[in-house]
Amino acid sequence: MTNTFPKPYINTIPAMSHGLYVFDKVVCNTDNGADRVVVLAVCKCGAVQSLLVEPCDLHSWQSGMLAQNAFPYLSEAEREAMISQTCPACWEAIAAEVPEDWFGDDQ
């Protein structure tokens, strides 16, 4: 299963600013027939990541559960998109700006 949605669906959504957008329409797009909702994570650079998550997991995360526990079926990059709405390319750029000695000598 891929966690992407067809571009025509995304193109019907008005221009979005940086943030997390949850669509309440439930879709069934998994091998086991589990319900999923569409979540779009919009990075400051304008990149859009579409994710399919289970509604109960989304509620658990919004109620304080750690993302890795709420969404074990998402990759680390997908969970980071949920948390910070930062795309992998922007994370690479941020990491490149961190000095090598940032963490001290014990790293």
106 in any annotated domain: no
54 in any annotated domain: yes
For residue 13, pLDDT over 90 is answered with no
Residues spanned by the domain of 81: 7-97
Give the pLDDT score at 93. 87
Q: Model confidence over 18-68: pLDDT tens digits?
A: 677 777 666 665 566 667 777 787 888 888 888 888 888 888 998 999 999
The percent of residues in the chain predicted with pLDDT above 90, rounded, is 13
| 50 neighbors 2 (Cβ within 8 angstroms) | no
74 in any annotated domain: yes
Structurally, the chain folds into a number of domains equal to 1
78 in any annotated domain: yes
104 in any annotated domain: no
For residue 1, pLDDT over 80 is answered with no
| 4 neighbors 50 (Cβ within 8 angstroms) | yes
63 in any annotated domain: yes
Question: How large is the average pLDDT for residues 71-84?
Answer: 90
107 in any annotated domain: no
Query: What is the overall mean pLDDT for the chain?
Result: 75
Give the pLDDT score at 64. 93
